[in-house]
Chains A and B, each alone.
Chain A
Amino acid sequence: MIVKLFSAFFATLFFSIIFNISKYELIYCGISGFLGWLSYLLTFNLTSSVVFAAFIGALMISLYSRLLAKIRKTPVTIFSISGMIPLVPGAGMYKTVYYIIEEDYALSTHYGIESLQIAGAIAIAIILVSSFSLFQFKRS
């Protein structure tokens, strides 16, 4: 598990370079991926639900990105988009189409629906956090 967490850190960090994120923010992007994957794995071990685990992971990343965006004075997206990379259903999308080519429609549907659920869960987590902090911002 520790190996997986540190791999998530480095995977996120190097993916941020592909996204051309400024070099001063790279390390924070890595931490974002680390935190997201940590909460994902913990939730997955507790509930064994991929979708719920992705939701919690995305929630953590969004909160962390909000906080860091305030401190580092950069857009939230920089930290959230990179941190989400291990969570987002890229492999799921691939498997969906792969099994269509394989003519295994049952597996394809399974992965397709799962990918949409994960994407939906992550999107809801992002929107949830952004609407909450909008509320806080207006009150203060």
Chain B
Amino acid sequence: MNYKLLFKYAMLTGEIMLKNGAETYRVEDTIIRILKTSQFMVTEAFVTLTGLFATLDDPTIDMITYVKRVNERTIHMNKVSQANDISRKFCAGTLPLEQAYQQLLIVQNMPAYPKPIRLLATCLTAGFFTLVFGGRVNDFITATIIGLALGLLQIGLNKIHATRFFIDLIGGALIAACAFILTQYIPIGMDMNVIIIGSIMPLVPGVAITNAVRDTIQGDLVSGLSRAVEAFMIASAIAIGVGSVLKIFYLVYGGSFS
């Protein structure tokens, strides 16, 4: 067996899954399962949110250890699902190693949804969450417009490779500014707070904090802690953006915080 290719395949699977938003325990599990098909004595994997390590050792081979740093993480569930599918077929023995590796390379370059569709999704997510949180039709329309602005901003800032913190900060500020101006100058009885809460939904770290608690309960303390920090940083960025803009507007226009 070509154990170097096997190892390469396992690490690439792990990297793709981790980069695109799989849980750490699932990544560990998948890497170990793939490595175990070699029947070697030592198969270990240790995955954190920001990197992964794996070792393969046996008396018959030189030990391989591999460290992979993962810098940017996005959420692309389709890639996770596909990589998982390939590894499952491989472990069941229905897919030879070379073919599995080739298919994985295709998965790695799988495109995301086209930009207009993502933009539309951001708009409507903001709009419908406003309705979920008790907004009315006026609020829905306003939040959809704000969502459009937010989506355009995200695309623009992603183009210049801004950091996540910066994007969330500016995004929060933009949402608050738009919500304030729209409710101020188009008085058709809109609720600014509901609009802001609904519009920040595409940004907020709800899934991150839930996964943090889940990882901690399951014993992945390092991942749990780093996810909690991540969630807190995102929430801070949005809140700083929203908070400072509202403060400035209240200073200029008068009125008080609610």
Interface string of A1-30 (1 = CB under 8 A from B): 001100110110011111111100000000
A59 in the interface (beta carbon within 8 A):
no
Q: With A and B bound together, what is the CA distance between A77 and B239 in angstroms?
A: 28
| With contact pairs A81-B207, A85-B206, A90-B206 given, residues A15 and B75 touching in the complex (Cβ less than 8 Å) | no
Q: With A and B bound together, what is the CA distance between A21 and B235 in angstroms?
A: 24
Whether the Cβ atoms of B129 and A7 lie closer than 8 Å is yes
Q: B240 contacts which of A8, A88, A90, A101 (Cβ < 8 Å)?
A: A101
B225 in the interface (beta carbon within 8 A):
no
Q: Count A-B contacts at CB 8 Å.
A: 159
Nearest-CB residue, chain A, relative to B242? A98
Whether the Cβ atoms of A17 and B117 lie closer than 8 Å is yes
| With contact pairs A77-B22, A94-B235 given, residues A20 and B112 touching in the complex (Cβ less than 8 Å) | yes
Whether the Cβ atoms of B128 and A11 lie closer than 8 Å is yes
Whether the Cβ atoms of B78 and A20 lie closer than 8 Å is yes
Nearest-CB residue, chain B, relative to A24? B78
Q: How many residues of B contact A (CB 8 A)?
A: 57
CB neighbours (8 Å) of B239 from chain A are 94, 96-98, 100-101
Whether the Cβ atoms of A126 and B204 lie closer than 8 Å is no
Q: A20 contacts which of B75, B217, B242 (Cβ < 8 Å)?
A: B75
Nearest-CB residue, chain A, relative to B224? A123
Whether the Cβ atoms of A77 and B23 lie closer than 8 Å is yes
Q: With A and B bound together, what is the CA distance between A10 and B105 in angstroms?
A: 33
Nearest-CB residue, chain B, relative to A118? B210
Whether the Cβ atoms of A75 and B201 lie closer than 8 Å is no
CB neighbours (8 Å) of B85 from chain A are 73-74
Q: Which of B73-102 contact A (CB under 8 A)?
A: 75-81, 84-85
Q: A119 contacts which of B122, B200, B213 (Cβ < 8 Å)?
A: B213
Whether the Cβ atoms of A11 and B125 lie closer than 8 Å is yes
Whether the Cβ atoms of B202 and A15 lie closer than 8 Å is yes
Nearest CB of chain B from residue A134's CB, rounded to whole Å: 12
Q: Which of A85-135 contact B (CB under 8 A)?
A: 85-91, 93-94, 96-98, 100-102, 115-116, 119-120, 122-124, 126-127
CB neighbours (8 Å) of B51 from chain A are none
Which 6 A-B residue pairs are closest in the complex by CB-CB distance?
A88-B206, A90-B204, A90-B206, A7-B131, A97-B239, A11-B128
